[in-house]
Structure 1
Amino acid sequence: MKEWFTIDTIEHIIQQYQMLGPLFSMLLTAVEAFIPFIPLVVIVIANVNAFGFLFGFLISWAGSSIGAYLLFLVVRKFGKHPKFQKYIQRQRVQKLIKWVDMNGFTPLLILLCFPFTPAIIVNIVAGLSNLRKQYYLIAILVGKLIMILTMSGLGYDIRALLTDPIKLVLVTIVLVILWFAGKQMENRLNKKVERDLRALEKEKGVSRK
């Protein structure tokens, strides 16, 4: 197994990946929006190492943004189909939809900036909400820009990353910090959802009296 983890082997795999072309790489990045267990960070690192930092970043950003917006549009189009109602009517989903309708795209933009937040859930909830299409497109483009740029900067030059222990440790620390920050932001937003909806219900109760 060790031969699979040598620098030469990894560089050879990247060269083979490069031969598939930028369109395949962009498509693979877009598909990740629909299949979340595909590791986006690995795809982005492969893209910037195969096609150069700038072009690899642009491929990743375009593909990830296209995939996220397509998922949003699919959910917006078919989300109210009877077959999906048992998932949509779940209490947690309904709470998130209502909260997005109340607060707009800014919280979604913040979530989309972090690499390890559940982007597929964000896209689905946004699609089920009444958020305007153009506003969510802006949130996707800006959020993905920040997220993909961060990944590209951390993973560019795979040889230096794997041969320099200090750089590898620093990148690992940054990724852990990003993961932790994303989870903290997600937890805070979840608590804010509960607070805002409780306050809304209380206001409704007072107005009825």
Structure 2
Amino acid sequence: MGLLQDIEQFFHTYVTFASIEKLLEGYRGFGPFLGILLPGLEAFLPFLPLIVFVLANAAAYGFALGFLLSWVGTCLGSFIVFIVVRRIATKRLKQSLQRSQKIQSMLQWIERHGFGLVFFVLSIPFTPSSLINVVAGLSNLSLRSFALAVMLGKMVMIGIITFIGTDWKNIVSDPSRIIPVIVGIVVFWGVGKWIEKTLNKKAGEKEKHRSADK
């Protein structure tokens, strides 16, 4: 635990917006590699400051490209964690994780609410998204539903961080400017639920056809 605490303290002390922005500017020769890698690492190391990486990407690469790199990186990280837990993790590791009361509680929530809960949690900044990735991997949630929830939820979350981070003065003076963010969350949630239902309906029809053929 001492080593982990030292590592966490290091990141909290030295991994700041200014240092990450300088790093990204200094290593532009790598192209988008670092802009994707750093947000992706947060899925494995939850104490990393994702908000710093997102804002630094926007500052170093511009709003649109910075947003895209952050979104791609954090989505890839989430997918990898989910797949590792679902298909690669040993039985002993899974049993060890499931003994945690916190994980058991979240596991029941996800299996009860599925896409909607994962989307909602991942669309809100400062939530334990890395834990959600692990629990989703342990649950019965399909990869398709998880991927959809991650892509839409992370899109909203990254958008919120970038929007607020670059326009915070105007938001403080005029709170109504945050209304489009709330509307965006509702719209993305509705679209995601519709897509999930459509995909599940098609999958069910295919399963019925297979059963009938047998």
| TM class by smaller structure | 0.5 to 0.7
Aligned residue pairs: how many? 160
SS in 2 for 1:65: helix
142, 145, 170: which one pairs with 2:172?
170
Name the residue aligned to 1:201.
none
In structure 2, distance between residues paired with 1:170 and 1:125: 36
1:72 paired with 2:82, answer: yes
The offset of 1:96, in angstroms, is 2.2
Q: State TM-score, norm by structure 1.
A: 0.66
Gaps of 5+ in 2: 1-17, 178-214
Name the residue aligned to 1:200.
none
* Most deviating of 99-108 and 59-68: 99-108
Name the residue aligned to 1:148.
158
In structure 2, distance between residues paired with 1:45 and 1:73: 28
In structure 2, distance between residues paired with 1:80 and 1:135: 23
The offset of 1:29, in angstroms, is 1.2
1:46 paired with 2:60, answer: no
Higher RCO (CA < 8 A, seq sep 6+): 1
The offset of 1:24, in angstroms, is 1.7
Change in 2 beyond 3 A, CA 1:155/1:14: farther
Task: Please give the residue correspondences for 1:82-93 in structure 2 after superposition, counting only pairs within 5 Å.
Answer: 82-93=92-103
The offset of 1:104, in angstroms, is 1.4
Alignment deviations for residues 180-208 of structure 1 (CA, whole Å, 9 cap, x no partner): xxxxxxxxxxxxxxxxxxxxxxxxxxxxx
CA RMSD across the alignment: 3.1
Asked if structure 2 preserves the Cα contact closer than 8 Å seen for 1:75 and 1:127, the reply is: yes
Asked if structure 2 preserves the Cα contact closer than 8 Å seen for 1:97 and 1:125, the reply is: yes
Change in 2 beyond 3 A, CA 1:169/1:76: same
Q: State TM-score, norm by structure 2.
A: 0.65
The offset of 1:78, in angstroms, is 3.3
In structure 2, distance between residues paired with 1:9 and 1:123: 28
Same amino acid, percent of matched pairs: 37
Asked if structure 2 preserves the Cα contact closer than 8 Å seen for 1:29 and 1:63, the reply is: yes
109, 112, 120: which one pairs with 1:102?
112
Gaps of 5+ in 1: 1-7, 175-209
Amino acid at match of 1:98: Q
* Most deviating of 64-73 and 76-85: 76-85
In structure 2, distance between residues paired with 1:150 and 1:22: 21
